[in-house]
Structure 1
Amino acid sequence: MDFINEKDIFDLIDNEKLNNISLQKEIIQKSKEAKGLSLKESAALLNINDKETLNELFHTAKEVKEKIYGNRLVLFAPLYLTNLCVNNCLYCAFRKDNKELKRKTLSLEEIKEETEFLVGQGHKRLLLVCGEHPKKASMEFIGESIKTIYEVKIKNGNIRRLNVNTAPLSIENFKILKSFGIGTYQCFQETYHYETYLKMHPEGPKRDYSWRLFAMDRALQAGIDDVGIGALFGLTDWKFETLALLSHAFNLDQRFGIGPHTISVPRLEPAFNAPVSQKPPFAVDDLSFKKIVAVLRLAVPYTGIILSTRERAELRRELFHVGVSQISAGSRTSPGAYKESKESVEEYQMEQFQLGDHRSLDEVVRDCCELGFMPSFCTACYRSNRTGDRFMELAKSGNIGKICVPNAISTFNEYILDFASDETKIVAEDFTKKELEKLDGPTKVKTEKMLQKINQGKRDIFF
């Protein structure tokens, strides 16, 4: 665990020399090259308090994100298969000692029904989520679930990319997981602070800090190209958590030449019968949260920064402007909740945590357009071998956007034709025309040809 050096990280946080406004401005200027930052430089930016410098930080984060990914926002939804768990995480409603939680594991037929609902909304990309349970979330069950999800095809729609968030696995089991045709493998350390980690995970296999920390190493060794890391902000000092998260990202990049495909930034939210969640030990205010997102974007410009529906709509809109590139929409965090399609007391007694943004996918899509962001349902890279080091080469060089933007327009046009409400169609069609005009000659011609095919009834057109 030498790459998470707690003393060095706290020394950086306490280093008064890094509170220099001139130094901070120099680092922001350097970050515009979109080549990343060191841990020390990142620490200096986390300490910004001057309002003018802070605005410069936020503006630059948006600039760097758009330099690499354009103005697109990739959309997805989580699909919970089971809320049974053998761990006892103090911040999570799924913890095994929560005797009042209504437990449920979906059958394959229920998984099909949930997927049909999500496909019917227009989703193309899902995140499969399971509680940690050796029987209810076995590799066999996960494999059957993935097969069931991929087989669903309705209303010109289907799931083309399935990312997976499960417990850490052995190399052999990661190889099995890869054989199911997954996209990114996600696993969050929750907190990188060792003592806090042990305190928050008093029982269960999750108590093994090291086994979880090196999950990504094993996944990459098993041949899974893309991995996603994250921390649950609110369990310990947010500056420590951010720098530790970056240390993890840098270590993966140095060892494998493949940094994290995504970094998630969930904040601790209230959860049913989870005492720590009701009163976070180190609650993160909104301004500090914006700093976290902006600094992550500048420090690891190539990564996808994921924002969930934990956050309320107003704050999500602000965070779109400081570096976020992937968002969930129309989410539910309990097994079977999509089919019900309405919130209830029973759902509250089954969900992992409370949500802040309860809008539908269609409402989020329309809002994105009105804010100037391109909703993207693209999954092309994962079926064109643009993963792992190949994706990293394109992202780090700033060339991925040349592929992503046209594919985003193509998949968004599918959504407009097949799933958008009449109100959203009006806004989206006008927005797409303006985005098309921004493209240069050859790219514009190629994109227009893709759109012609889609308008003729063809689907899943990409390059």
Structure 2
Amino acid sequence: MLNASVKTDSWKQRKIHLDEIERYMQSDRDFIDDAALTRAIAANRNPDSLRIREIIAKSLAIETLNIDEAAALLNVSDPELLDEMEAAAGQIKRKVYDNRIVTFAPLYLSNYCVNNCRYCGFRLENKKIRRMTLSMDEIRRETEVLCGDIGHKRLIVVYGEHPVSDIDYMVESIRTIYDVAVPARQGIGRIRRVNVNAAPLCVEDLKRLHAVGIGTFQVFQETYHHATYARLHPADTIKGNYRWRLYCMHRAFDAGVDDFGIGALFGLADWRFEVLGLLAHTHELERAVGIGPHTISFPRLEPAKNTPFLQDSRLRVAEADFRKAVTVLRLAVPYTGMILTARESAETRRALLPLGITQVDASSRIGVGAYANPAVDNSQDNRQQFVLGDLRSLEEVIRELAEEGTITSFCTAGYRCGRTGKRIMDLLRSGKEGKFCKLNAVLTFREWLDDFAAPETASAAEPVIQKEIKEIEQEQPGMVKTFKEYYRRIADGERDLYL
């Protein structure tokens, strides 16, 4: 045990490269100015309706808002204006991303962690958690369930920060996932895009992730409030370094990763401050690397085994406040994808989807090894980081979306066609990306329905597909011939065709 502890300490000392923080800083301060963000919230109280409608118009033009504009939206209390903001949020989503929801599944590969975050079930001091790191054979079995039984095409893989799940393990595990192919009803089930949620990495390690073919690289700041961050993340841990985390996406871009996601954990500090922190991070990325975040996530704190910090009800973000946060984020960064996870209840997710959500997970199991072990209790398992709120299957979610007229997309074409980085930002801002998305959403949905859907789900989905095809015929006549040829080939059993 002593040798293991010494090795871990040595590993921790090598993780942070101070030069890979300092090279991106413009002064001795980082780009999150707590006092300025707090002042903006106070200075924009009681905004008048004319100003709010001007801000909404700017959002509808797919322009990133400034801090004061977002702060004004955060201060809106008039029900009529709130309704207008929500309507605009939905309109923006349809303009940029069309009538679709992208689905994915989380895959937790290890819950070992050297950090000691007070709110996290995986924290080092939590002795009630059963620690596990999946072997490559176990990863294959998990992936076979995800792509062969459920039909997922896109994963977000999650790693703790620990030597057992360092970059060598990450690269090998991603290769293993991509290698899995399982016969489906007509075609072959496989994962086409692996997104990564992990601890901040150095440039050299990020280059290795880029080389193995990842999709989006996610690192969440947790909280942008400096004092709160310091209080929750002990200074003697890797995660105690606020700036190592804050500048991770700058390093990712330099490593060739131009598709990244940011996020904050709502419930650690004032939720309004976190909204502005996410926007300030967006501004910095737009300034420094020329592109903003492909996705923004806004998970709320959820219960976790043996984590008393979460029992403080003062930390909870109320439903009405969370609804406003989602609305303002959609208006503030109108081009970004917005991820609403199964942390939230099914009821909350139904209520928030119309406000501009673009991605949800389903059939989610977050215990390490839980997909291949159906006996694991997915609500109280001692191998998982927190408790899920929405335990519905992918099939249930798809059927409900179809009944409401929304198409489910399994598209991963953008990554493989080079529609990432600045290229996708330009396409998103212009509304052109949504056109590609509609074509590929229909093609991939046809695949999933033919390979995995129960009869009642297929029945609910067919009118949605036909409606989307009619819109393609009307809106994209130049693409109709190729699209219909691909659609026919997929119906005949061919797979993974995209435009």
Q: Same fold (TM over 0.5)?
A: yes
Once the two structures are superposed, residues 121-160 of structure 1 have per-residue CA deviations (whole angstroms, 9 ceiling, x without a partner) of 01000001011102x1121111111111001111211100
Match of 1:431 among 460, 464, 469: 464
TM-score by structure 1 length? 0.97
TM-score by structure 2 length? 0.90
Distance in 2, matches of 1:151 and 1:272, equals 34
1:116 aligns with 2:147: no
| Corresponding residue for residue 167 of structure 1 | 199
The 8 Å contact of residues 238 and 284 in structure 1, kept in 2 or not, is answered as yes
| Corresponding residue for residue 491 of structure 2 | 455
| Corresponding residue for residue 338 of structure 1 | 371
1:446 aligns with 2:492: no
1:10 aligns with 2:38: yes
Once the two structures are superposed, residues 234-280 of structure 1 have per-residue CA deviations (whole angstroms, 9 ceiling, x without a partner) of 00000001001100011101111110011011001111111222225
The 8 Å contact of residues 236 and 281 in structure 1, kept in 2 or not, is answered as no
Partner amino acid for 1:288? Answer: D
Identity across matched positions, percent: 49
State the 1:456 CA deviation.
Answer: 1.2
Gapped regions of structure 1 (runs ≥ 5): none
1:241 aligns with 2:274: yes
Distance in 2, matches of 1:281 and 1:2, equals 29
Distance in 2, matches of 1:39 and 1:397, equals 23
Cα root mean square deviation, aligned: 1.4
Distance in 2, matches of 1:204 and 1:346, equals 29
Distance in 2, matches of 1:59 and 1:75, equals 23
Count of residues in Structure 1 that have an aligned counterpart in Structure 2 = 462
Distance in 1, matches of 2:300 and 2:266, equals 5
1:81 aligns with 2:113: no
1:176 aligns with 2:205: no
| Corresponding residue for residue 295 of structure 2 | 262
| Corresponding residue for residue 222 of structure 1 | 255
Gapped regions of structure 2 (runs ≥ 5): 1-28
What secondary structure does 2:128 align onto? coil
1:69 aligns with 2:102: no
Match of 2:245 among 197, 212, 222: 212
1:354 aligns with 2:382: no
Q: CA 1:280 to 1:3, structure 2 compared with 1: closer, same or farther past 3 Å?
A: farther
Partner amino acid for 1:125? Answer: R
| Corresponding residue for residue 196 of structure 1 | 228
What secondary structure does 1:74 align onto? strand
Match of 2:353 among 306, 320, 328: 320
Which deviates more, 25-34 or 447-456?
25-34
Match of 1:185 among 211, 217, 226: 217
What secondary structure does 1:123 align onto? coil
The 8 Å contact of residues 380 and 387 in structure 2, kept in 1 or not, is answered as no
Distance in 2, matches of 1:99 and 1:412, equals 43
| Corresponding residue for residue 416 of structure 2 | 383
The 8 Å contact of residues 81 and 128 in structure 1, kept in 2 or not, is answered as yes
Partner amino acid for 1:262? Answer: T
The 8 Å contact of residues 30 and 243 in structure 2, kept in 1 or not, is answered as no
State the 1:446 CA deviation.
Answer: 3.2
1:34 aligns with 2:50: no
Distance in 1, matches of 2:210 and 2:494, equals 29
The 8 Å contact of residues 238 and 282 in structure 1, kept in 2 or not, is answered as no
State the 1:442 CA deviation.
Answer: 2.9
What secondary structure does 2:355 align onto? coil
| Corresponding residue for residue 125 of structure 1 | 154
State the 1:21 CA deviation.
Answer: 2.9
State the 1:392 CA deviation.
Answer: 1.0
State the 1:22 CA deviation.
Answer: 3.0
Distance in 2, matches of 1:201 and 1:346, equals 26
State the 1:343 CA deviation.
Answer: 4.5
Once the two structures are superposed, residues 320-375 of structure 1 have per-residue CA deviations (whole angstroms, 9 ceiling, x without a partner) of 10011011111111210111235428962111111110000110111111122211
